[in-house]
Amino acid sequence: MDRLKPSLGRYALAVLAHLGLLVIWYLFVRPGDVPKFVMPSPGATFEALLSPNYDWWANVAVTATEIFGGYFLALVIGVLLALVFTWSKTLESLFMPLLVTLNMIPKVALGPLIIVWFKYGVFPNTIMAFSIAVFPILLTTARGLREIEPDLLDLVRSLRGSRWQLFVKIQLPGSLPYIFAGMKVAAILAVAGAIVGEFLGSDKGLGYLMLQVQVTLDTPAMFMAVMLITLLGMILYGVVLGMERLLVPKDARVG
């Protein structure tokens, strides 16, 4: 029970900080009589969620699919590429500079090309989320794999362990702190990537909905869309954080 008290204290402070933000928001809007189309009150924002005109939950499902799908794809590809690069220095020297160059391309500039190649829909926005989230996972995983003690790897090889056994038994557990460090950064970027994709070209999702309500100056609905996008990001980040605390000892965590 004593071990839970520090964690509960941190969670309580986090909740208080969010409640404090709501109070400041309310106090800023109400006394100043700020017009609703400029900044709605918290109550007006939550009332927008009750509007049947925007099909909120269908749009939430679309955006969540793009975020979580792109993130999972980035996790798998990022870890696999990092593993391949540790197996072959030649491949790393050949492809890592190319990947760095590709990562320097602004993802907003890639958006129109992705639309041309894959048209509108969930898949191109998932690709956008993937493209912006994969690089942090790749870099941190590669670093974690390099941090494994060479003597330990040589011992497993001397026992004729396969590359897969080497990865599962030694490399993966040892690099988990670094993998999770990249996963936490990628969770934030995946949300941004999916929404950028919806802004550039989509016919559904919360980003698309924001563009629609902007035309009618329905600012409460726009605020509600932002809050739902933020909530999806918090859920993804919370899942990653929970997995890290489950799988990685506290003194071994990075970041």
Q: What is the pLDDT at residue 161?
A: 63
Residues 13/15/16/22 CA torsion (nearest 10 deg): 150
Give me the sign of the Cα torsion angle 167, 171, 176, 180.
negative
pLDDT bracket for residue 158 (50, 70, 90): low
pTM value > 0.75: yes
Contact 178, 136 (CB under 8 A): no
Q: What is the pLDDT at residue 130?
A: 93
Q: Which residue has the tokens 């989230």?
A: 133
137, pLDDT greater than 90? yes
165, pLDDT greater than 80? no
Contact 252, 175 (CB under 8 A): no
Q: Give the residue with greater pLDDT, 24 vs 161.
A: 24
Q: What is the pLDDT at residue 58?
A: 92
89-104 helix and 56-87 helix, angle to the nearest 10 degrees: 150
Q: How far apart are CA 92 and CA 75, in angstroms?
A: 18
Q: What is the pLDDT at residue 31?
A: 60
Lowest pLDDT segment from 33-42, 186-195, 221-230: 33-42
| Rg of the chain on CA atoms, in Å | 22
pLDDT bracket for residue 134 (50, 70, 90): very high
Per-residue pLDDT of 70-116, as tens digits, reads 999 999 999 999 988 888 888 888 888 888 887 887 777 777 777 77
Q: How far apart are CA 42 and CA 25, in angstroms?
A: 7
- The single-letter code of the amino acid at 13 is L
Q: Give the residue with greater pLDDT, 98 vs 150.
A: 98
Contacts of 208 (CB under 8 A, 6+ apart): 59, 198, 199, 202
Q: How far apart are CA 107 and CA 16, in angstroms?
A: 36
Q: Where are the alpha helices (DSSP H) in 88-171?
A: 89-104, 107-118, 122-146, 150-158, 163-166
107-118 helix and 172-200 helix, angle to the nearest 10 degrees: 70
Contact 120, 203 (CB under 8 A): yes
Q: What is the pLDDT at residue 183?
A: 93
5, pLDDT greater than 60? no
Mean pLDDT value across residues 32-38: 67
Q: What is the pLDDT at residue 215?
A: 81
Contact 82, 142 (CB under 8 A): yes
Which DSSP helix (H) or strand (E) runs through 252? none
Mean pLDDT value across residues 121-139: 90
Per-residue pLDDT of 201-247, as tens digits, reads 788 889 888 888 888 888 888 989 999 999 999 999 999 998 998 88
Q: How far apart are CA 77 and CA 142, in angstroms?
A: 12
**% of the chain exceeding 90 in pLDDT:** 27
